[in-house]
Structure formats: structure tokens, C-alpha cells
Structure 1
């Protein structure tokens, strides 16, 4: 495992935000205009199960405050297409969880979907983009449906957020931040986590699992495999014992797992088991 464990990793971020105090501090840092006296114990990696009618969803951090306001916070490391649609879907699933059968629509509480991005999702140089629903004809008229989407951008260049929030975003961006009480608390918490053997094992198991099962990571692995194939002079249409498309994904996944610091023997076992490869195929991949 790499010595530097970044809060950008969603498992690390979820582990840190499972600390009630640190989670509440972050929400208050992002939304200083709200008075948050307390929050529920944060639910990390909260899953709303997929059904035959609905796509499942997994939230990185999900919690409520003393007034029932919902806060969903996700670390979005990859600049993939469909982020606005993901917010829309998240908000819909939050509402469906919030409103029980027989309740009136007015019972819906406010909700905030907050994406933390180590990239600029809209290319305007802002550190934060807040989205509400407004009337197209009269911009001063707000719908007032209680839903807010916030994109935090660690690459912002504008002077548009508080120093404390800027320090947090700089820390997420792996910049050196000093003399900031909240960032120091985050550093200490992660440092203590990293010394826990059980947590480190869970961290690596999660990273490996995500390499195999996360849609975005699979695509990243496929693209990495295509790049490797081109570098090694492999023709995509060439007939091999493993289909070219599958070979690309496997090679890319191996490359990503190596970057993540997975020990070679453990990597081989995971790859062979996941892709059901023969010993001969493994020799070809790891020669």
C-alpha cells in the first residue's frame, strides 16, 4: 500500500465521515448559514437496493440533522458523464426514502446532495456551484422544493469561498495545508486509521473490489488496457485465447491494482478468481 492515503479515496472519506464530529464540522463548513445542533450518526456507504423497477444507489455519506434535513455527501474522483443526472437520481431516491406511505408531500424535508470533485465539473473556475430550482421567466422566483445540489471543486481559481473551506478543498487536492484546525484533525484521524491493521486490510479489499465491480473503474481499466495493448503492439482484432476486449480490461485492471499497491501474489489470485482464468492464461498475462 502507498504510504500516502488520500481522503479522495471514497473508502477513506467514508471512514473519516463515520466520525460524527468530523462529519458535522464538514457540513457546517460547507453550509455556515445553517444552524446544525446535531446530526444522526452518519451512515457510510448507505445503499438503497435495486429492485425490478429501480436502479440501486449507494451513497458515500448519508445523515440528517436535528430538523430532519438530509445531507448526502459523495467524493466524486472521476469526471464522468452524467454527474448532473446522478444528482437528479440521488435526490429522487432520497425523497422516496424520506416520504412514507400516506404522508403528505409537504412532509418532505430539505435535502442537500454534495459532490466533492478534484476537478472542475463546469469549467467556470468556481470552488463551489450551488444549484436550486428557479423560474425560467423570472429568475428571482425560486421553486422552493427544498432540494439543493452543491458541487465543490478543488481546482477552483476564484476567491469565492471562506478560507476554512478553501483549506479543506486544498487538502482534498493533496496540497500542503498548515495551521488549520479542521484539516489537522482530518490528518490525525487518517494517520491513526492507517496504523490499524484491520482497517488497512479492509481498505485494500475495498479498493480491489471497486476495481472489479465499479462501472467507472472497469471502463478506466479497459482504457488503460487499450493503451497498454497499443504500447505493446497488440492488435485489438487479433484472435487470442482471451477475447481482445476482455484482455484489455484485465490488463488495465492489473495496471490499476499495481498502482494501488496490491501485493503481486494477492493481485494474481484476485485476477485469476475474478476472471476465471487458466494457469496458461495467467502465464500470458504475467510473463
Structure 2
């Protein structure tokens, strides 16, 4: 779903208000993963929309999502991509391509404006994560309270049923009075005797 979200953000930013959608350029969403999300061993997973009734029929929306698996073991990739994977996994510079990447990263780390923006982004992400956790905890407490009330109510009904048995009421009357299923009241009666 993150891929879909990024695609939507891209598409919204690519058109000005009132522009026709046919001005949308081809887009690529690329994820670099240091784990094999699909556990198939591919170096690259490329996704385009296709028709389920005819898998050879592709929707020509020019949107592509690629997942680069740095832990992949098979598939055709270029020497530069392989060296990029080695760089991501082990921070090893083996080609001019990874040397350029390493130089750019070193430069960006020294750039105080970029560092500040990165730190602000990390802080925003941390805030969002904390907000999400707080919402999750609140929701969990709410569910727990509802479940706790249901358990408490069930125990209360059983206690009432036991008292009504001691007063000599019938199974049917106890079931009506407590809203318990007759089967449960009969099982309780069997326990009592």
C-alpha cells in the first residue's frame, strides 16, 4: 500500500490544476530493500498493472513499481546494480558508480542544510510513529475495556443464574431472566448437581 500511496503523491504533484491527465509522464516507484520482501530470491521485482483475465494484457498507465532486493540471488542485473547492492549491504566501493554514490553521500553528510532537513524529517517520522503508537494503545485499551465489560457481564449472569438455581427456579425461567442460552443454563445446572 505504501507503493500506491507514493504513486498517488507523485501523480498529484506532476499535474497543475486544470491540466489534462494525459500530460502525466511515465513514473517509477523504486524501493531498495535489504531483505527479500517476496522471498523468491530475485534481484529485482518489477510490477505493472495487468488484466487478470488475460495476463498478457497490460494497462498502459505508464506506472511501474520496482523493488530492488539487495539480498537477491538470481535474475539479470548490470554490473553497476550489483556493485550498488554490495555498497548498500556492506558499504564497499567497487566501481565508479558506487564511488560516485559514496562521494555524494559524504558531501550530503557535510551539508548542514541537508543534515538539518534530514534530522527534521527523522523527528517528524518519530513523532508520527509515536502518534501511531498512542492511537494503537488507546484503541487497544478501548477494545480491552469492551472485552472486559463483556467478560464481567457474562460472569455476573452466571452468578445470577447460580443464585436463581438455589431459589428453585426452572432452567427456562433462569434462561429468560439472565438472557443466557438454555444450553449454558443446563450445563450450569449439571455442574450444580
Comparing 143-152 and 154-163, the one that deviates more: 154-163
1:155 deviation in Å? 0.9
What pairs with 1:253-272 in structure 2 (closer than 5 Å)? none
Structure 1 103/211 Cα, relative in aligned 2: closer, same or farther at 3 Å? closer
CA deviation after TM superposition for structure 1 residue 214, in Å: 4.3
How far is the alpha carbon of 1:141 from its aligned partner? 1.1
- For residues 197 and 166 of structure 1, what CA distance do their matches in structure 2 show? 28
Is the contact between residue 35 and residue 71 of structure 2 (CA under 8 Å) also seen in structure 1? yes
| 1:182 counterpart residue number | 97
How much does 1:100 deviate? 3.1
Matched position secondary structure for 1:142 = coil
Q: Which protein is bigger by CA-based radius of gyration? A: 2
Aligned mates of 1:108, 1:92 — CA distance in 2 = 12
Report how far residue 199 of structure 1 moved.
6.1
| RMSD of equivalent CA atoms | 2.9
Q: Is 1:139 paired with 2:55?
A: yes
Report deviation, 1:175: 4.5
- Provide the C-alpha distance between the structure 2 equivalents of 1:201 and 1:140, rounded to a whole number of angstroms: 46
Decide whether the 8 Å contact of 2:33 with 2:70 is kept in 1.
Answer: yes
C-alpha displacement at 1:164, in angstroms? Answer: 0.9
Q: Post-superposition shift, 1:86?
A: 0.9
5+ long unaligned stretches in structure 2: 134-193
Corresponding residue number in structure 2 for 1:264: none
Change (3 A) 1:133 1:192: closer
Alignment of 1:123-138 (within 5 A): 123-138=39-54
The CA deviation at 1:192 is 4.2
Name whichever structure is richer in helix by fraction: 2
Q: Secondary structure of 2:90's partner?
A: coil
C-alpha distance in 1, partners of 2:11/2:34? 27
> How many corresponding residue pairs?
133
Which TM-score applies when normalising by structure 1? 0.40
Q: Which runs of 5+ in 1 are unaligned?
A: 1-84, 220-287
Question: How does 1:9-48 map onto structure 2 within 5 Å?
Answer: none
Q: 1:271 is matched with which residue?
A: none
- Taking the aligned partners of 2:122 and 2:29, their CA distance within structure 1 comes to 27
Matched, 1:152 2:68: yes
Alpha-carbon separation, structure 2, partners of 1:138 and 1:102 = 34
- Structure 1 residues 34-76: Cα deviation after superposition (integer angstroms, max 9, x where no partner): xxxxxxxxxxxxxxxxxxxxxxxxxxxxxxxxxxxxxxxxxxx
Query: Structure 1 residues 114 and 154, CA, compared in 2 at 3 Å: closer, same or farther?
Result: same
Displacement, 1:188? 2.6
Q: Tell whether 2:34 aligns with 1:122.
A: no
SS of the residue aligned with 1:173? helix
